Amino acid sequence: MKIEHDLHIHTYLSSCCVEKELQTPKNIISLAEKMGMKTIGFADHLWMSPSIPANDWYKPQDENQITRLKQNLSTIKTGVRVLVGCEADTIGPGKFSITKEFAKTLDYVLLSCSHIHLDNFDQPKSLAPRDMVEHLVKMFLSGVESGIPTAIAHPFALFGPLHGRSDGLISTLSDTELFDMFSVAEKNKVAIEINAAAVALRSEPVRLITNAKKAGCKFTFGSDAHGPAGQRALLNLEPFLNKTGVTEDDILPLAIGGK
């Protein structure tokens, strides 16, 4: 299927963006126009929870992210549909970097449930794949039941020093376990993100997505771009999607012009 939306784009406002001078909303929109995108969504990292203090990395990425982004966007004219969202975090079961009330003020929220490489995040019992995966499933279930997310960003993808451990995690889960987990997402009307950067990392992403589809989940696409090359890499998902059987009917309406 043809990819015409990208709901996971970071700008210079995200601390992890290294190409800050290139990654402006203006440049991102102009590349999206060239790529033939119909909808794009900005998803900078966000921590605004008044009850849980942000770690040092997250501290500058508070709710002012959204104000600054909207100021930038106010001067740009484009035919591309532009949504303002964020990538928020599950710190541990029941602990989130964003409140439900703030989430409602945005067009959408991508919630990560696997950024466990960050400081002060709840940790698994050990780094054994099954312990890690059970911890990530708990984080996922807590996330989808929180009333916060529109979609779960890159399920089971690990980053930073844990990056290499993404491989082999999904194979420790049975199809029944995956189906049951995604059924909870479907019941809560939370979509699953198909993330171009994460698909390249994991050993069994096809099985992950086919089980989510079987459970009736809707999907969003995201490049997780932190620079122009990452934004272009979204289109690399097309051959992967052909293997999963995901079609236009499986896409979250919000991503393709609906609410």
Binding site for Zn ion (CB under 5 A): 87, 112, 224
- Smallest distance from the beta carbon of 203 to Zn ion, in angstroms? 19
Question: Shortest distance, CB of residue 45 to Zn ion, whole angstroms?
Answer: 7
Looking at the Cβ atoms of 123 and 126, the one nearer to Zn ion is 123
Q: 195 and 157 in contact (C-beta within 8 Å)? A: yes
Residue 46: burial class (beta carbons within 10 Å; 0-12, 13-18, 19+):
buried
Least CB distance to Zn ion at residue 255 (A): 16
Of 90 and 210, the one with the shorter C-beta distance to Zn ion is 90
Q: Are 257 and 5 in contact (CB under 8 A)?
A: no
Q: How far is the CB of 78 from Zn ion (least distance, A)?
A: 22
Min dist CB 111 to Zn ion, Å, is 10
Alpha-carbon distance of 234 to 82, in angstroms, equals 17
In the structure, how many helices (H) and strands (E) does the chain have? Answer: 9, 8
Of the candidates 10, 200, 127, the residue with the CA atom closest to the CA atom of residue 136: 127
Cβ distance to Zn ion smaller for residue 90 or 211: 90
| Residue labelled with tokens 């740009």 | 76
Q: Quick one: 61 or 112, whose CB is closer to Zn ion?
A: 112
Tell me how far apart the alpha carbons of residues 179 and 57 are, in angstroms, rounded to a whole number: 34
Q: Residues near 66 by Cβ (< 8 Å), separated by ≥ 6?
A: 46, 84, 86, 105, 106
Nearer residue to Zn ion within complex by CB, 113 or 209: 113
